[in-house]
Structure 1
């Protein structure tokens, strides 16, 4: 059965939020880090963009670069990581079933 697009959106949002959590970076901090890379945005726009989970691959990579992520491991269980609360589990490196 194909995975719904909403699950993919939730997963990519969870990956971004997990990387922010791992580094202790708030949305305000991410705005500053993006600005250091010449990418201008504000906290409200950034929160909304991430909350929707609908952003470009370019934006995602810009955020990963700004956060200092040099290696990204994608979760094996897309549906599990695409659920609410998935960001915390990804940040801790545990599956939802282990939590």
Structure 2
């Protein structure tokens, strides 16, 4: 996992799309959610994917996987996504 973050829906909105006013929160993501992300990516054979995971009633669920995902969370954390990808490709990590 390169980066994990929360997206919080805008007031009165249920969708967490940043384009719809959601905000990125860099609070710690629970280990169970990260484990689910790793398991999902591995089971599907994905090495570069953005996963949307929600928490409901104390459990985590994968909503979708995106091969073309937003970069807002990287920007919020001060991570240069394209430099990161260049480095990972050069190391054979993806």
TM-score with structure 1 setting the length? 0.27
Which structure shows the higher strand fraction? 2
Larger relative helix fraction: 1
What TM-score comes out, normalization by structure 2 length?
0.28
Higher relative contact order (CA 8 A, sep 6+): 1
